[in-house]
Amino acid sequence: MLLHKIRLIVVTISVIIIPCILLAQEMPRRQLHQKLARAKAERFSGLQAATVEQTQNQSDYDVTYYDIDIDIDPTTETVSGTITMVAEVLSASLSQAEINLLDNMTVSQINGTAGTLVYTHSNDMITVTLDRIYNLGESFTDIIEYSGTPNPSFEAFNFDKHDGNDMIWSFSEPFGARSWWPCKDIPSDKPDSVDIRVTVPTGLIVASNGTLRNMSSDGSTDTYWWHEKYPIATYLVSVAIHPYKTFSDWYHYSSTDSMEVQYYVFPDHYDYIQDYYAKTVPAIELFSELYGEYPFLDEKYGHAEFMWSGGMEHQTITSLGNCGEYLIVHELAHQWWGDMITCNDFHNIWMNEGFAVYSEALWTEFTYGKEMYHHEMLKSKYFGEGTVYVPDDSDYNRIFDVHLTYDKASWVLHMLRHVVGDSIFFDILHSYHDDTRYRYGTITTEQFRDVCEDVSGMQLDAFFQQWIYEEYYPNYIYQWTTNNNGGSWNIELTIEQTQTNHIFTMPIDVAVETAFGDTTLVVQNSLAVQHFSLTVNGEPTGISLDPDEWILCKVEYPTYTGFQLLQNYPNSFNLNTRIPFCVPERSFVTLQVYNVEGKLISTLTNREYSPGPHWVTWNGTNNHGQVVSSGMYFYRILAGNNIASKKMLMLR
Ligand SMILES: [Zn+2]
């Protein structure tokens, strides 16, 4: 999903055009995203956190099918009906089944295939006693009759109005399905198929997942029967209901075949929205080429307008609250990443959202050029705290953290692309799309890592560990010297990582300027301080690290000349600090650390240096390798005839 931009409020003709114009402004898009995310803080606050993960009992069965047969009454704002759940036993034996449903909904009866079943309903969980003990591999059926008004604070099932008419919409991600229909509400358990039969007052049109099997009417109510033939996560089951106006487009996936793209729009948006929706089919074409064919080709794709400010990637029928190009592209990309392959749990939500945000950048690249791609990526750089992996998946705001789940996660894919190379990167995505272990199933970070390793033949555990499970970014500082070696030039390059949390392992592009033009070399960097010897043809006149910004990093270059002793960095520090200095000519340099009593603690260097900037690192130990105590220390340099000293503070 994407909380995008502003809430659509269209009450007069004069403002109809305004929302889509605003959508083109990219910075407000992100700021508003954050603002709206905060506004949604209370959305699942009443949730029983214990039921976010599947219970032990739920891990003992696998749902294969749901029939959702409900009446929706907008006058009383109630949902009532019957849910049939068919499940297969995964444990040696099973006598009960736990099914999520919020307590404010009323269960009136539960039947099995052989008659009425005993059940309890408390702590937002139905516990059904099955009619007998079922053994491994056997299937059981629970038919649940229920009714009630879905808890409005969950905002998962909403009775709304647009232009004076009923607008009923669901939005269940991540835990909201249980607020309006009983189910095993866990993303890892996707039923093989779902029937969705919805009865509404005549005049309302129901948009939902899959294909429309039938529409029948009894004069006062209409029943829409939708069938989703592909596996679907419970949070992707949706209804959007309004006296919609509809129109279609077509995705021609071969010279003879095409798939209908169906749009359910508010009648007062019908005239202007078609130009915006015209981006959809080209985006389906692009992603089918980049990732593999659109996953629900036998059914449809479509949009149904709803009353939320952003979009939600309901399977085969995205709900949209505005018509921005990037929102359309983002939600479409989820049909591959999120819907066809779903995060196994919301700890791994980056597998949905990072891919969808990165798809926005790919759309930019293949529509507007590579330069605009990099521009798009730069907007989503995030240097703050937190891991891409969600430690607490009962925290709605943490799951949908715009910086981590969306922006940094898309940078993980941007970086992965550079680590493995362009052609292997797209091979990975095609293999991932085709992999029968995950296709129409679910995925964890480790499973995706294994796909990447299989296709690339590279070891990528360090890559995923540091970018998914650890925080922050590398802060590189570098220095270099050159010498003429006959026909070529040698570069002695030192790269230091000065961040305090952990050391990153990444290939780094090193761009070298010479009189003969620019050359880009790649160094494999994995140490706190690492030296590289490089050779180029012409005399190097400048060197830059990661010039095209393929790494989420900061790069510092010490630009100083003449004799200088600079302040250590960081200061104060915990064990490791860097002491920069510069010598104007080839000089013998001695740099030593003293304590406040003037006693020599450590000699950091004692050798000849070429002209230019250099640094040494002190790791807080004395000349015997013992860690010294916290406090003030002095460092003193003797370089040729120059002498200088400064103080520094070690805080352990
Ligand atoms: Zn999304």
- Do the beta carbons of residue 3 and residue 29 sit within 8 Å? no
**pLDDT of 401-457, one tens digit each?**
999 999 999 999 999 999 999 999 999 999 999 999 999 999 999 999 999 999 999
Euclidean distance between CA atoms 200 and 197, whole angstroms:
10
Euclidean distance between CA atoms 121 and 114, whole angstroms:
21
Interior/surface letters 31-41, b for 16+ CB within 10 angstroms, e for the rest = ebbeebbeebe
Distance in Å, CA 123 to ligand 1 centroid = 30
Distance in Å, CA 388 to ligand 1 centroid = 15
Are 36 and 83 in a shared domain? no
Distance in Å, CA 462 to ligand 1 centroid = 26
- Residue 619 in domain: yes
Q: How many other β-carbons are positioned within 10 Å of the β-carbon of residue 88? A: 16
Output the CA–CA distances (angstroms, integers) from residue 9 to 13, 14, 17, 28, 165, in the order listed: 11, 11, 11, 17, 14
Distance in Å, CA 281 to ligand 1 centroid = 19
- Do the beta carbons of residue 228 and residue 236 sit within 8 Å? no
Average pLDDT on 59-84 reads 98
Average pLDDT on 80-96 reads 98
Sign of CA dihedral 424, 426, 429, 433: negative
- Residue 49 in domain: no
Structural Rg of the chain based on CA atoms: 30
Distance in Å, CA 342 to ligand 1 centroid = 12
Distance in Å, CA 349 to ligand 1 centroid = 9
Distance in Å, CA 408 to ligand 1 centroid = 14
**pLDDT of 204-240, one tens digit each?**
999 999 999 999 999 999 999 999 999 999 999 999 9
Residue in 615, 631, 590, 411 with CA at minimum distance from that of residue 528: 615
Where is 367: in which H helix or E strand?
helix 350-368
- Residue 47 in domain: no
Distance in Å, CA 5 to ligand 1 centroid = 13
Distance in Å, CA 3 to ligand 1 centroid = 8
- Residue 50 in domain: no
- Give the per-residue pLDDT at 619: 87
Q: Is 80 exceeded by the pLDDT of residue 472? A: yes
Residues linked to residue 62 through DSSP beta bridges, in sequence order: 88
Q: Which of 41-50, 369-378, 452-461 has the highest mean pLDDT?
A: 452-461
Residue 113 or residue 614, greater confidence: 113
252-255: long-range contacts, CB 8 A cutoff, minimum separation 24: 253/288, 253/293, 253/294, 253/297
- Give the per-residue pLDDT at 3: 64
Q: Is 70 exceeded by the pLDDT of residue 320? A: yes
Residue with tokens 């300027």: 513
- Do the beta carbons of residue 343 and residue 518 sit within 8 Å? no
Which residues of 299-349 form beta strands (DSSP E)? 301-305, 311-312, 318-320, 342-343
Q: Is 70 exceeded by the pLDDT of residue 77? A: yes
Are 317 and 407 in a shared domain? yes
Pair of tokens at residue 168? 């009923």
Are 289 and 354 in a shared domain? yes
Euclidean distance between CA atoms 512 and 204, whole angstroms:
65
Distance in Å, CA 352 to ligand 1 centroid = 7
- Give the per-residue pLDDT at 615: 72
Distance in Å, CA 354 to ligand 1 centroid = 8
Euclidean distance between CA atoms 537 and 546, whole angstroms:
21
Which of 404, 439, 471 lies at the terminal end of a domain, its last residue? 471
Least confident of 16-30, 132-146, 195-209: 16-30
pLDDT level of residue 30 (50, 70, 90 thresholds): very low
pLDDT level of residue 37 (50, 70, 90 thresholds): very low
Euclidean distance between CA atoms 365 and 446, whole angstroms:
28
Distance in Å, CA 343 to ligand 1 centroid = 12
pLDDT level of residue 45 (50, 70, 90 thresholds): confident
Are 65 and 157 in a shared domain? yes
Distance in Å, CA 405 to ligand 1 centroid = 9
Distance in Å, CA 348 to ligand 1 centroid = 13
CATH number of domain containing 279: 1.10.390.10
Residue 136 contacts by C-beta under 8 Å, 6 or more apart in sequence? 89, 90, 91, 92, 93
Distance in Å, CA 54 to ligand 1 centroid = 23
Are 352 and 464 in a shared domain? yes
Are 79 and 157 in a shared domain? yes
- Do the beta carbons of residue 276 and residue 323 sit within 8 Å? yes
- Do the beta carbons of residue 235 and residue 313 sit within 8 Å? no
Q: Is 80 exceeded by the pLDDT of residue 52? A: yes
Residue 538 contacts by C-beta under 8 Å, 6 or more apart in sequence? 489, 514, 515, 516, 517
Distance in Å, CA 74 to ligand 1 centroid = 29
CATH number of domain containing 631: 2.60.40.1930
Average pLDDT on 171-187 reads 97
Residues linked to residue 162 through DSSP beta bridges, in sequence order: 165
Q: What is the mean pLDDT of the chain?
A: 91
Distance in Å, CA 338 to ligand 1 centroid = 8
Distance in Å, CA 2 to ligand 1 centroid = 4
Euclidean distance between CA atoms 95 and 648, whole angstroms:
69
Residue in 221, 196, 193 with CA at minimum distance from that of residue 207: 196
- Give the per-residue pLDDT at 566: 81
Q: Is 70 exceeded by the pLDDT of residue 589? A: yes
pLDDT level of residue 560 (50, 70, 90 thresholds): low
Phi-psi bin for 383: left (phi > 0), alpha (psi -120 to 50), beta? Answer: alpha
Distance in Å, CA 69 to ligand 1 centroid = 28
DSSP string, 341-355: BEESSGGGTHHHHHH
Are 518 and 625 in a shared domain? no
Q: How many residues does the chain have?
A: 652
- Residue 558 in domain: no
Which of 508, 523, 552 lies at the terminal end of a domain, its last residue? 552
Residue in 138, 230, 145, 128 with CA at minimum distance from that of residue 184: 128
Distance in Å, CA 121 to ligand 1 centroid = 33
- Residue 457 in domain: yes
Residue in 229, 195, 213 with CA at minimum distance from that of residue 68: 195
Side-chain-facing half-sphere of 377: CA atoms under 13 Å: 24
Are 453 and 484 in a shared domain? no
CATH number of domain containing 487: 2.60.40
Average pLDDT on 335-339 reads 98
Output the CA–CA distances (angstroms, integers) from residue 413 to 418, 449, 522, in the order listed: 9, 11, 19
- Measured at the CA of 228, the angle between CA 197 and CA 191, to 5 degrees, comes to 100
Q: Is 80 exceeded by the pLDDT of residue 574? A: no
Distance in Å, CA 45 to ligand 1 centroid = 21
Are 321 and 403 in a shared domain? yes
| Global confidence as pTM | 0.84
Distance in Å, CA 313 to ligand 1 centroid = 7
**pLDDT of 479-516, one tens digit each?**
887 788 888 989 989 999 999 989 999 999 998 877 67
Q: Is 70 exceeded by the pLDDT of residue 635? A: yes
Average pLDDT on 513-534 reads 90
Distance in Å, CA 356 to ligand 1 centroid = 6
Q: Is 60 exceeded by the pLDDT of residue 20? A: no
Least confident of 1-10, 281-290, 470-479: 1-10
- Give the per-residue pLDDT at 32: 41
Distance in Å, CA 103 to ligand 1 centroid = 29
- Do the beta carbons of residue 170 and residue 239 sit within 8 Å? yes
- Residue 51 in domain: no
CATH number of domain containing 77: 2.60.40.1730
Are 152 and 108 in a shared domain? yes
Full domain range(s) for residue 488 = 475-552
Number of domains composing the chain = 4
Distance in Å, CA 350 to ligand 1 centroid = 9
- Residue 356 in domain: yes
Distance in Å, CA 215 to ligand 1 centroid = 31
Are 3 and 73 in a shared domain? no
% pLDDT > 90, the chain:
75
Residue 540 or residue 160, greater confidence: 160
Are 577 and 529 in a shared domain? no
Which of 532, 552, 572 lies at the terminal end of a domain, its last residue? 552
